[in-house]
Amino acid sequence: MKFKANLAWIDGAWASNVFLESDAQGFWTHIQANATDAESQGALALGCVIPGLVNAHSHAFQRAIAGLTEHSERSGDDFWSWRDRMYRVALRVSPDHLESIATWLYSEMLRSGYTHVCEFHYLHRNPDGQNYADAAEMTWALVRAASKVGIGLTMLPTLYMNQGFGQPGLSSMQRRFASTPESILDIQQSVIQHANANGKQAFLTSGVAIHSLRAVAQAEILNLTSSSGSKPIHIHVAEQTKELADCIAHTGLRPVEWLLAHAKMDARWNLVHATHTTAAEIEGIQSQQAAVVICPTTEANLGDGFFDLPEALLQSMRWSIGTDSHVNRNWTEELRLLEYGCRLSLRKRNVSLLHQNGLGSTGQVLFENALEGGTQAAGLPLAGIALGQRADLVEINLESDALLGVPSERLIDALIFSTPSTSFDNVYVAGKKVEHRMTQWRTDFLKTMAEL
């Protein structure tokens, strides 16, 4: 496919009259700025384009409770009481329900400028806690949903074995999450084989996930991660203060300290949340080439706390963003809240520039870091408009309220910090325009919501 963009975001800056060409597999093979009409003959004309971002952390089924947990029936509402309400919905979701929820959710992500999603998936068994005839039945519902809407997908079948530190086995509310290292590896291989057999390697892959240190013991963590190959590994860690206290009481170490000492981390690893980390732990994460997935709107919704972004930027630690529970489905809001949370805490402006003496573009720093970290989270070449990367493009509507009259050199800043959120005209994944069948997907989603 050939494109000619008036403006394109390449290597952290705007370039004009950019000729782009992708191969049959959907990866960039030619990029030329200041191209003439003759040099870009036959190309599809586009306006202002940026690369799509990776949504590095998703629990698709939780889209069904977005906005429905803000009414409390007791005092002292926190993450753990929210979790009980989430479990009640998890026990009712069928494969058909999950497919319709994920289809609508993934279409929302595409319309918001995400072109790939990492699905942290632990809803494996049927409502009675028994395996489906195909143990990957719920996984295939997500794969079908992503294929229908055209978004890229990294499946992360998730190991979940214990209900807490020193509490082996799962509670009745967690019965659908039951899994073993072997069952997770089987699902991973099934997804990879499916992608290979159907020529979907550019769109679909699978890593593995560990739900958390409280949910999986050391032996099983090492068993899984030593057998999962070169694909991504994700884990929830250090999200709530109670988790820190419980981990210290059980192991003598903070959660990230434990991973640094025992998990043999490398560039496959992505630590989801890592909200409560010290400067020394961030240094350790960076030194082991691991990354962090920050989910600002979910962490705010659950009252988790603020991630230490200035320290992460100072130490050049890689990070990405995710929408997690999907109370928000827009990456501009995730990045804006990430910066604003730090501003409120530190009472300073442009906190994302502190590591470079307060100079530059805050929007550029946030966008470029999220872009680079996303490719590590996904395990696919998704690091922007560059040779060999997947040909993902998002066309920006420059006539939208947020961008009207904004000079080109400030567009990334305005895209993130000027609201209402900017609309995108067209989205391309692996060189192909994404088409939406919104009426049917909306009908299916409404039916599922009524049934749940």
Q: Which residues are catalytic?
A: 273, 324
Q: Which residue has the tokens 């009980």?
A: 84
Query: Nearest 10 degrees: CA dihedral of 381, 385, 387, 390?
Result: 40
Q: What are the structure tokens assigned to 283, written together?
A: 């240094």
Residues 6+ apart with CB under 8 A from 56: 118, 270, 293, 320, 321, 322, 373, 374, 377, 378
Neighbours of 77 (CB within 10 A): 16
What residues form DSSP beta bridges with 396? 48, 424
Give the pairing type, strands 424-429 and 393-396: antiparallel
Burial of residue 123, with CB atoms counted within 10 A of its CB: 0-12 exposed, 13-18 middle, 19 or more buried: buried
Among candidates 72, 177, 61, 143, which has minimal Cα distance to 452? 61
Q: Count of alpha carbons within 13 Å of 287, Cβ hemisphere only?
A: 9
- Cα–Cα distances in angstroms (integers) from residue 438 to residues 20, 100, 263, in the given order: 29, 12, 43
Distance between CA atoms of 396 and 48, rounded to whole angstroms? 6
Q: What are the structure tokens assigned to 63, written together?
A: 């889209």
Q: What is the secondary structure of 270-324 as a DSSP string?
A: EEEE--S--HHHHHHHHHTT-EEEE-HHHHHHTT-----HHHHHHTT-EEEE--B
Burial of residue 133, with CB atoms counted within 10 A of its CB: 0-12 exposed, 13-18 middle, 19 or more buried: exposed
Helix axes 181-197 and 137-149, enclosed angle (nearest 10): 30
Residues 6+ apart with CB under 8 A from 177: 122, 123, 124, 125, 158, 160, 170, 211
